[in-house]
Amino acid sequence: MLLVRNKMDKDEIKGAGNKAKGSVKQAAGKATGNKKLEAEGAADKAKGHVQQNVGKAKDALRKH
């Protein structure tokens, strides 16, 4: 059986990490009432989302 690996761009991987980090920060900020930490988490999540989309675009360009 031949397995095909779906290679992810490094931006996609970094983006997923930033989104996860942002989710944790945002939840911690909400739980502790720390608005600054909550805002940092939201910013990290947005940054991660953009990074993932850049990586997906790079993958799409490589495939064509």
- pLDDT tier, 6 (very low <50, low <70, confident <90, very high otherwise): low
Three-state secondary-structure class, residue 7 = coil
More confident residue, 63 or 51: 51
Contact between 18 and 47 (Cβ < 8 Å): yes
Q: Where are the domains of the chain?
A: 10-63
pLDDT tens figures, 10-50: 999 999 999 999 999 999 999 999 999 999 999 999 999 99
Three-state secondary-structure class, residue 6 = coil
> Under 8 Å CB-to-CB from 41, ≥6 apart: which residues?
21, 22, 23, 24, 25, 26, 27, 28, 29
Asked whether the whole model's pTM tops 0.75, one would answer yes
Contact between 51 and 14 (Cβ < 8 Å): yes
